[in-house]
Amino acid sequence: MKIIFNKGVYVFALLLCSITMMGQEFGKVAGKVSLSGNTAAENIAVTLKGTKYSDVTTVSGQYEITRVKPGNYTIVVSALGIDPVEANIVVTAKQTTTKNFSLNESQEDLQEVVITKNKYKQDKPSMSLRLQTPVLEIPQNIQIVSAQTLKDQQITSMSDGVIRNVSGAVRLEHWGDLYTNITMRGSQIQAFRNGFNVVSSFWGPLTEDMSFVDHIEFVKGPAGFMLSSGDPSGLYNVVTKKPTGVTKGEVSAIVGSYDFYRVSVDLDGKLDKKGKLLYRFNGAAQKKGSFRPFEHNDRYVIAPVISYQFDDKTKLTFEYNFQYANMTEVGSYYVFGPKAGGYATMPRDFTMTAPGLPDTNIQDHSGYLQFEHKFDDNWKLTAQTSYFKYLQQGYSSWPSAVGPVTTPNGDIANGEIIRNVGIWDADSNMFLGQIFVNGKFNTGAVSHKILGGIDLGDKDYAADWGQSHDLDTADNPFNIYNPNYGTPSNGFPQFDHDTPLSQRAGGLYGTEYAAAYVQDELGFFRNRLRLTLAARYTWIRQTNSYEVDPTEDSHITPRAGLSYSITDDFAVYGLYDQAFIPQSGLVRDGELKPLTGNNVEFGIKKDWFDGSWNTTLSVYNILKKNELTSDPLSNPQKPTKIVLGEKRAQGFEFDLRGKIFDGLNLIANYAFTESIVTESNVRGINVGAVVPGYSKHTANAWLNYTVQSGKVKGLGASIGGTFLDGRQTDTWGEGLEKLPTYFKLDGGLSYEIGKVKVTANVFNILDKYLYSGSYYEWLQAYYWQAEAGRNFRVGVTYKF
């Protein structure tokens, strides 16, 4: 791996050194494209006729074509459903030619542009990433999962197959659909929503339902441009749907295997004639059974958004998301077996849950208020605040003993388990605020893109894990080979849910933080060479129920990036960035400290065939200090963690996404990941030991073809697969057995005619017994979570 990394550094340096800087003077063309009613026209192609110069309009309708040779041109604005508009312009060296367009086409036709142009590729990050640079020019690996990708793959929640679209992302261990817990570059990455870090504890947040999600951005490595604190392995940012100013609607219904039923609605439009007051409303209801008996996970969602455009410069947006989950107790997904047996010794549909246990209920509220003001075409201020409220009342199942069980008579029985149920009531509150400025200006021949701002946050999480109950007795244990799903021998628990949680909570975590940051992207040689310099100061105060006094710390994290455009569609980059993140939990040995880490990364990005599809190749090296990890001797009723010391993650990643040709779209990726301990503070964990919780080799592909003409126009077919090898378990307990190689094959058919589209997908076509799991030292047992066998979903969508 060291050789690979050194080669990556050498290749990058060679590329930079071998490029001759051209001194030719260029001009720039910029402007705005609007629809009737002054509505911004997003994702419209703007091209200088007969040349390679082009751009696509942003959400505010803006476009910018740089490095244009001086001369006379014909500029063309075009898209499916919109009559092309042409105009003659003159480009002058060192000057910006401004040309605005107003289109008189129907707003409904505009919505077809995004899907027709490119179903799976997005060229620009959302505003919530705070950047004003195209993805191709950002000195970092950022992958965007588009809205159409989510629809084609019938993804219904954040933990429902999203990660197949991003290199190196895995979920080796998880608690079903409670929270997503994605691992990338050797560690669990941070969960963001609309630019806010929504992690208040290890157990959260509740997975986002896709009904109100527009797209998802994966940022690999530290992200000093948006993180007040975060893991150096990266983050995912869920971007929710916003009003577009286009009056439209969509209703979808899906049915599937194991009593899966779902309906959703998406309404978008205006509340006034001038189009200043806009709305978006999304809602969903889902009943979801399981291939395991006695298990379900039902969801109900509402997500209204209101925005008001005061004038061309000022906009105010209010958004509210509510998710309600009613599900079988957390932990019902796990199956345990004795050490002598190993993994997957029971049928795929086997369960250890006890029918009759009350459901676990979760309410997840989030509200956002956003203020945007453009001072002029170059400077913009964004201020936003949010409040997150999470309430949970329920249970967590986890055995207290796994066979062999010693009975009162001294006999030893194999395959016998004493199941245990613990209470899990939780309450979380997060108050978060951000204010930042984006600006552009020039100093001589050098351009500047400025980002500066302040982040504030106050988070708390309280949970009651202190009440537990054995469902079975030593005289009458639960036998996995002869299960009895009647009333447990020790009866059901009678937990106290009525006493205020503040009086009975055993897990209390609190975090306050304040951060200030500034970043300057300097452009040289007409922005062909870009140097990013940034720094962030972060102060953090932490409290938890296991520490007598709060702990405080502060840190300055620098960021430096270099990106060079060899051609307009081919860029190479290098990056150094640091991260700083608080940690919480009960530490068995050592002192609780914030995690610090740094990332060195090099990469190559290329757009192919006028931007139809894109490839990204990156190589990285991440060092992390003071990281907490799972304690192999942890008691599940009072979970503890250990301070590892230092670990190093290295690897390389390749991503391809986009339209290969009309009708054929492809997503493909591969990642090699290796994470080892470089310094250890823990007895039994040696230097060189492999860090748990990732897969050494991951590969994914999703291919979709839609017939473009003829009698079967609109007929589509998809095929996709996921391959994992070198899978590491989620704990330090090695056991006697490794996780096997994983391969899952999915596919589907679709047909679209007019306003109706029918989509059918089959998952796990090969009907393989797929699972993930670990060896658990505390119980001297294996546990695993199985996935469903061959199953299907059929959906119908009607647009109006």
**Last residue within a domain, chosen from 71, 102, 133:** 102
The chain-wide mean pLDDT, for the chain, equals 87
What pLDDT digit, counting tens, does each position of 326-374 carry? 999 988 999 998 877 789 989 999 999 999 999 999 999 999 999 999 9
Judge whether residue 413 has pLDDT over 90. no
d(CA 61, CA 488): 63
* Amino acid 228: pLDDT: 60
Among 72, 102, 132, where does a domain finish? 102
Confidence check: pLDDT of 506 > 70: yes
pTM of the model: 0.85
Assign 3-state DSSP to the chain and report helix, strand, coil percentages, each to 5. 5, 55, 40
140 inside domain: no
- The predicted-structure confidence for 628-671, as pLDDT tens digits, reads as follows 766 666 665 566 777 778 889 999 999 999 999 889 999 999 99
CB atoms closer than 10 angstroms to residue 198: 24
Give 161's pLDDT tier (boundaries 50, 70, 90). Answer: confident
Mean predicted confidence (pLDDT) in 489-494: 95
- Domain interval for residue 46: 27-102
What pLDDT, on the 0 to 100 scale, is given for residue 22?
Answer: 40
3-state DSSP assignment of residue 466: coil
**pLDDT greater than 80 at residue 203:** no
Residue that is written with structure tokens 């301070």 in the block: 643
- Kindly tell me if the per-residue pLDDT of 320 is higher than 50: yes
Tell me, what's the pLDDT at 545? Answer: 67
Confidence label for 116 from pLDDT (cuts 50, 70 and 90)? very low
Residue 35 confidence (pLDDT) above 90: no
Give the chain's domain count.
Answer: 2
Tokens of 72: 């006379």
Yes or no: say if 592 and 694 are a contact pair by the CB < 8 Å rule.
Answer: no
pLDDT tens digits, 557-588 = 899 999 999 998 999 999 999 888 766 666 66
Q: Please check whether residue 174 lies inside any domain of the structure.
A: no
What span, in angstroms and rounded, lies between the C-alpha atoms of 587 and 458? 23
486: in domain: yes
Segment 114-123 mean pLDDT? 69
Comparison of pLDDT for 590 and 168, the residue scoring more: 168
Determine contact, residues 305/280, Cβ cutoff 8 Å: yes
In a domain, 609, yes or no: yes
Lowest mean pLDDT across 113-117, 213-217, 336-340: 113-117
- Give the residue-averaged pLDDT of 42-62: 80
Residue ending a domain, choose from 80, 102, 124: 102
The CATH number of the domain holding residue 80 is 2.60.40.1120
- CATH number for the domain including 344? 2.40.170.20
Q: What local confidence, expressed as pLDDT, does residue 232 receive?
A: 85
Which range, of 239-248, 414-423, 496-505, 624-633, averages the lowest pLDDT?
624-633
Q: Are strands 586-587 and 640-643 parallel, antiparallel or unpaired?
A: parallel
- Strand spans (E) along 328-473: 334-338, 360-374, 379-393, 395-397, 401-402, 405-406, 412-413, 416-418, 420-423, 425-443, 446-464, 468-470
pLDDT-based confidence at 58, cuts 50/70/90?
Answer: confident
Res 160: pLDDT = 87
Q: What is the pLDDT confidence band of residue 193, given thresholds at 50, 70 and 90?
A: very high
Q: What is the pLDDT of residue 123?
A: 86
